Every structure is written in C-alpha cells, then in structure tokens.
A and B are shown apart, each in its own frame.
Chain A
Amino acid sequence: MRLSQIFATIAVVITGCILLYGVSDFPGFGDPHSPANAGVPGSESVSQYFITESYGDTKVPNLVTSVLADYRGYDTMFETVVIFAAGMAIFAILGAVGGGGQPREQSEEPFFVNGDHSRIIVGTTCRLLVPVIQLFALYVIGHGHYSPGGGFQGGVILAASFIIIALSSNLNAALRRLSEANYLRIACIGILIYAGFGVLCQVLEGNFLDYGLLQPVLLTDGPEMARSHSMLGVEIGVAFTVTAIMFAIYANLSSRGTLRDGL
C-alpha cells in the first residue's frame, strides 16, 4: 500500500467512527415521536405542519410538490440555477462556440443508413420510442401536483428522448431538433419563468414567490388555487431548464465541445 492510501484509509475509518458515534444518539428509525416527526417541546415540527396544513394552503394533494415548489420554492429556484450554472461551466470549459443557430456543416445523414441492418433496427425502435417518452415526460411534468413527478424528473425524461435520437442516429440529428442557440435560450427562459412568477408577486406588493397574490392575474377562485397553478408554472420553468441543460451537457461531452459527430 502506498503512503497516501494508508492516510486515506485512516481518514475514512476515523470519519466512519465519528458518524457511528453520532448515530448512537439518534431517535429510533421510524419513531413517530422523533423531533423531525413530532417536534420538540416548545416547537411544533415543520413536517407536522406540512402534513396537516399544506392541502388547505395550496390545494395540491402531493405535499412533496407543495413543499418543494411553494414553501421552499426559493431553494428550488436555486437548484435550477445550479443546473444552469453547471451547464454554463461545461460550455465555458469545453469552449463551445455560441450563436450558431444551425448545426455545423456536417452532411445531413439520414436516419437509416442503407445496408446497415443493425442500425435500421435501432433506428426504428428509437423512432417509435421517442414520442412515447416525450408524452410520458409531459405527463410527469404536468402531473407533478398529484403524483410523484415534477419539473426535474420530467425534464430529465424529455432530455432523454433527445439523447436517444442522438445515440440512435447521430448528434446532428438531435441538434437539428434542438440546436445549440435554442437550448441555451430555453435554459435561460426556464429560470426566467420561475423567477418571473416570483417577481410578479413582488410587483403585486408581496414577497418574492408569494403565489397567493397572483389570484387576480391567474383568474382563479381563491389564493389557494393561484398557488396551485403557479406551482405548475414554475415546474414547467424547471422542466425547460433541465431539459435544455441535460441535453446540452450530453451534446458537449460526447463531442468534446465541438458538437460534431458525437458518439
């Protein structure tokens, strides 16, 4: 063993021991009276509030979505910014050239290559799969209030459909559908939608992301439904950014930033 490996092992063992030492003091697994579930004396638990009140506050049955997109919407906006920043950092490092709009001069390769039978099978299967995947992605985005799902998951699934096009044919075929200039634009527009909802609330003299105030704008009955609809809006914003950045990261990494050929 090299010296560095010995040091690393010692560090890992010490960290593990410290973690185990802390675990010995934890409340029992699944304990309904643990602080996270029932609160501590003198302070109501936050999760208790979410379980009992969130439907009344927001009219969203999936309380994970209501916590994510409303109570802690500010965090979620920055999670989206993290994804956008990761994309930007990758473009900056790999040196992708901006402003093209059209895919580079590479010849338009047909979806099927004559004579290559394996590619015909792959191409046909993927062509059948893509619309189903996209429809499912839209369902996951739009149904995030009611069932597990939402902008992040749906956005990744939507991006996967473009990546499948790129894998089964070539990168150019996918870039023809979602070009470089467009994915950057879509990524920015996604966060703009999210932050726009927040700023609109500020314009209506509330705090940032106080969706209840959007009632006169969204024409809903009651501020609760305004919250529900705004959550759908910001989820769509998240989906825009996640789709664009996921595909962009794939396109840049698979072609070393040139956006040519790919895998």
Chain B
Amino acid sequence: MTDQIPAILVLAPLFGALIIGLAGQKDHRVCFPVTIVSLLVSLFAAFGAVVEVVRSGEIDYFMGGWEEPIGIGIHLHIDSLNAPLLVAIGIVSVLVAIFSIRRIGDKNTEKTPHFYSLYLMLCVGLFGITIAGDAFNLFVLIEVSSLTSYGLIAMGSSRRGTLAAFNYVLMGTVGASFYLLGVGYLYLMTGTLNMQEIHTIFLANPDIASSKAVAISFILILIGIWIKMAFFPLYGWLPNAYSYCPSSSACILAPLMTKISVYVMIRVMLGVFGIEWVFASPGYSNLVVWLAVIAILAGSMLALAQREIKKMLCYLIVAEVGYMVGGAWLADEKLWGLTGSLYHILGDAAMTLCLFLAAGIFAKRFNAIEIEDLEGLFKKAPWTAAGFVVGALAMIGVPPTCGFFSKFYLIRGGIEANHWEFVVALLVSSLVNAVLFFRIFEIAFFGNKPPEGHGHHEEEVAELKEEHHPEIPTWTGTSSLLVASAIVILLGIFNGEIVELIRIGLEDLPQFASRL
C-alpha cells in the first residue's frame, strides 16, 4: 500500500466529495461522517508519507504508469520538504471539519452538502498542489482549490462576503492566468512540463537558462503566485474575503491557502529554476526582501488600525506572508532563511488556525465582531480564551511556541545574509503584535472598554451581527481549538526534529552540495 500513498492522499477526499454529492442531498446526516472519514484516511496517508520519506528519502509516483521517458506522464513527488506540509493540511482540515459541525447549516441546512462537498474538493486541491511534480498539473489543482474557495467564501449570507468573493474571483483569475502564461513560456523553451526535467535541462543548457524568455516566465509565475498568496502590493482581495465569509470557510482558507502558495513559490524556486539561478543576481533578491520588509511593516501597521477581530487577523496574515517570502529570498550562504520560511509555513498554519478558530467561536457564541466586544471573555469562556492566548503568544513569538523558533531561524538567516532591514522588520512586527494582542488581553481580562463612540461604523457592524447565531455553544469548536493550540506548542518543542527533516530535504537537492 505504501507505494500508493500519493494517489490515496488526493483520492480519499475526492471520493468523499462525490459520495456527499450523491447521498448528501437526500440525507444531510451523511455529510459529516463521510467528510471526517475521508479526511482521516488522507491524514493517515500523510503520516505514512512522512514515515516513508524518513525511511527512504522520497516517494515518486507516476500516474498511469508512464515513467519512461520522463515527462510524458504526470509525476507526483513527495520529499522531506512537502511531507510535513501534507500532515499540516490533514490536521488542519480534520480540525476545521470538527469545528464546522452544524455551523454552516444552522440557518439554511440545504447548503450543508454543498459546503462539505466544496470543502473536501478544496482539500483535494491542496493535497494535489503539495505533491505535484508537473508544472501544468499544479495549475489544474490551483484551479480546483481556487474555485472551491470562491464558493466557500461566497456561500455565507452576508452581501459583503459575496462582493469580497467576486473581488477574489477577479484577482485569483488574474493570478492563475499569469502562472499559466509562465508555464507556457517554460514549455516553449524546454519542451517539457515535468519540474525535475525542466531543472535538468536548465543545468545542462546554460544558454536556455539564461534566455530572456525563461527570465520572463519566472517573473510571470512569481507574480501569479504572489497574487494567490496576497504578498504585499497584491493583497487587496484578502482582508474582506477572509473576514466576511462563514467562520468555517475562513478557518480552513486562512491557515492553508496562502501558506500553500508560499510552498509553491519555494518549490518553483528550488525544484524548477534552481536556487543558483534564482539568486544569481543579488539585485533581484534584495528587491524581494525589501518588498517583504514593506509587507511586514505595512501588514502590522494596518492590523494595528483595525477594530474588527477577523480583519486584524487578516492583516496579520499579510505580514506573515512577508516573513515567509522574505525568508525564502534571503539567499544566505547556509540557507537558514529558507529553512525558517519552510518551518514557518507549518507554524503559521497552526497559529493562524488557532486564532481564526477562536475568532469564529467568539463570533458565534458571543456575537463578538469587534475587539471591544471581547470584554470579560476570560470569565465567560476560559478555554476558548486560553486557546486564543496560545495562538496570540505564538504570533508575538514567545519561547515555547513555534512562533519563537521560526522567528529565530528567520533572524539567523537575516543576520547571515546581512539583511538587517529584514531583522528589524521582524522585531518591529513582533513588537506590534505584542501591542495588538496585549490590548485584546486587557479588554478581555479587565474589560475596560474605550469610551469613544463608533458613529457610522456601528451600522456596518450591526449588519454583520444579525447573521450570527449564539444558540449553539458546542464543545466541538473549543476542543478543536485546544488541539490546535497544543499543536502550536508541540511544533515549538519539536522544532529541532522538524528543522532537521527540512534540512535533509534541502541537502538532497543537488545544488546545495557545495553550500552546506
């Protein structure tokens, strides 16, 4: 069975989605068990993949058995860079599925099968993107995950959510088109779509690798992925889309979509173009690091200006994307920046999950949309508040949590690469996060509400509040929040092992033999 792991990863949720489509319409009770079972199968396969990768290095899977000559069929590839990410996707999707029981359906249950079917197809897309070894296959799966996420965002009852989803459709389509255009240029210059094969061709033919068309294709792919991950100047779609959609959708999209896009960027940099090619001229990597610095500072400052909890978290995501992109482009000799960025993908998925789950529970149970609404929260819901605190401490970067260690590796990379502006940006952003979250803790613990009035803003918030239903305080949301916060701490405690796994993956890439 172990050799079928890559296929099982994507097929289990796909069959789940189809079963829900067939049987879920008649009986909505089918939906939830099918979702959980198929995601658990995928999670189990993801653990299997990690074990197999630790044992034997990497897993290659050729669809349809078309192995030779390389490139005629579709190649799936798991190594120690993406195996931990598969587990992260599995865990996040299972936890959010548990959180989402009966939540989507409380008002209009007829949407339940649609929600779970889209949800599972989103997971298919995310797993598929992570294991794709073929540049066009990656595009197809980006489309699967994007289309399902448009649906998940727009299916709430808020009109602003629908508008935000429409914005996201436009931006997302532009991003995907840029990516596809870049892949087209690559195919034109190399005659293959297989990532490893393209990389081999570049190494063997320096004249092709140094051509203008290849450079343009890299820029097109990069911009396409940056739109998908909401990197700084291209983040406009994200805050509204993630804060006005149903809580369950936000909880699955916020931790995974942007992080998977960052992974795609790193995979393209390492696996297709090769790190030596990408960092050949330091001017470009300096430019990207400066963009990341602006992203971090702007994201943090904009987060500071928000009154709504989810909006604030969304701007924090923009800042976190800056961490990861900047880290990946630091180009320090020992690649600690890249290591930190890959580790931060996992850590950020866990802490974003924590915070969004908590924000979802606040909104559902206490009608708390704005930060001021959290007054007295520690008394009303101590467990939820505890989970929120863990997520917040990880965002600030307090030691036992994973946030501290990812910042540690990123700062180490920044120092070794002499990018002091990146180090300063990281520290400033940590400080801003501390201010942000301790302001929330103060309100939630001591309950001193600022006296100022809201004016016009209040009406908008009131519109949002009508749509929330406090009648279902369940243990499910809190328990998945607590598991998520435990993972945030465990990721921090076991950071050594995870980083070692990532380093093994980096060392396996041929171009690092000289560097490490």
- Interface residue? B61 (CB, 8 A): yes
Interface string of B197-224 (1 = CB under 8 A from A): 1001100110010011101110110000
CB closest residue in chain B, given A199: B11
- The residues of B that contact A40 with a CB separation of less than 8 Å are 190-191, 201, 204-205, 208
Most buried by A among B63, B64, B193: B64
- The residues of A that contact B128 with a CB separation of less than 8 Å are 78
- Interface residue? A256 (CB, 8 A): no
A35 adjacent to B191 (CB under 8 Å)? yes
Which residues, 66 to 106 on A, are CB-close (under 8 Å) to B?
A: 70-75, 78-79, 81-82, 84-86, 88-93, 95-99
Which residues, 12 to 70 on A, are CB-close (under 8 Å) to B?
A: 18-19, 21-27, 34-47, 49-50, 70
- Interface residue? B141 (CB, 8 A): yes
User: How far apart sit A202 and B64, CA to CA, in the bound complex (Å)?
Assistant: 10
A75 adjacent to B64 (CB under 8 Å)? no
Contact check: which of B73, B148, B216 meets A22 at CB < 8 Å? B216
CB closest residue in chain A, given B157: A95
Q: Could you tell me how many residues of chain A have their Cβ less than 8 Å away from some Cβ of chain B?
A: 68
- The residues of B that contact A199 with a CB separation of less than 8 Å are 11
Contact check: which of B18, B197, B213 meets A188 at CB < 8 Å? B18
Contact check: which of B74, B165, B213 meets A25 at CB < 8 Å? B213
User: How far apart sit A22 and B181, CA to CA, in the bound complex (Å)?
Assistant: 11
- The residues of A that contact B124 with a CB separation of less than 8 Å are 81
- The residues of A that contact B322 with a CB separation of less than 8 Å are none
Most buried by A among B4, B14, B114, B141: B114
User: How far apart sit A21 and B185, CA to CA, in the bound complex (Å)?
Assistant: 12
User: How far apart sit A46 and B108, CA to CA, in the bound complex (Å)?
Assistant: 51
Contact check: which of A71, A208, A212 meets B7 at CB < 8 Å? A208
User: How far apart sit A221 and B113, CA to CA, in the bound complex (Å)?
Assistant: 43
A92 adjacent to B190 (CB under 8 Å)? no
A37 adjacent to B191 (CB under 8 Å)? yes
- Interface residue? B277 (CB, 8 A): no
A92 adjacent to B65 (CB under 8 Å)? no
- Interface residue? A249 (CB, 8 A): no
B140 adjacent to A82 (CB under 8 Å)? yes
Interface window among B21-29, B236-244, B406-414 = B21-29
Total A-B pairs in contact (CB under 8 Å)?
Answer: 197
Interface window among A132-140, A141-149, A164-172, A179-187 = A179-187
Interface window among A112-120, A122-130, A152-160, A189-197 = A189-197
- Interface residue? A224 (CB, 8 A): no
Which residues, 182 to 226 on A, are CB-close (under 8 Å) to B?
A: 184-185, 187-189, 191-192, 195, 198-199, 202, 206-212
- Interface residue? B289 (CB, 8 A): no
B72 adjacent to A46 (CB under 8 Å)? yes
- Interface residue? B451 (CB, 8 A): no
- Interface residue? B389 (CB, 8 A): no
Given contacts A19-B216, A25-B211, A40-B201, contact A70 B144 (CB under 8 A): no
B204 adjacent to A42 (CB under 8 Å)? yes
- Interface residue? B62 (CB, 8 A): yes
Least distance between A28 CB and chain B CB atoms (Å): 11
A46 adjacent to B71 (CB under 8 Å)? yes
A211 adjacent to B64 (CB under 8 Å)? yes
Contact check: which of B61, B192, B212 meets A43 at CB < 8 Å? B192
What are 26 A-to-B residue pairs whose CB atoms are below 8 Å? A22-B215, A26-B213, A34-B191, A40-B204, A43-B197, A46-B192, A71-B64, A75-B137, A78-B143, A85-B121, A85-B144, A86-B147, A88-B117, A88-B121, A89-B154, A92-B114, A92-B151, A93-B151, A191-B18, A192-B15, A195-B14, A195-B15, A199-B11, A207-B62, A208-B4, A208-B63
Known: A49-B69, A98-B114, A99-B110. 15 other contacts (CB 8 A): A18-B216, A18-B220, A35-B190, A35-B191, A45-B191, A75-B136, A78-B144, A88-B117, A88-B121, A92-B111, A93-B151, A98-B113, A188-B21, A191-B18, A207-B7
Nearest 6 A-B pairs (CB), nearest first? A89-B151, A22-B216, A92-B114, A98-B25, A210-B65, A188-B21
Q: Identify the B interface with A (CB < 8 A).
A: 4, 7, 11, 14-15, 18, 21-22, 24-26, 61-66, 69, 71-74, 108, 110-111, 113-115, 117-118, 121, 124, 128, 136-137, 140-141, 143-144, 147-148, 150-152, 154-155, 162, 165, 181, 185, 187-193, 197, 200-201, 204-205, 208, 211-213, 215-217, 219-220
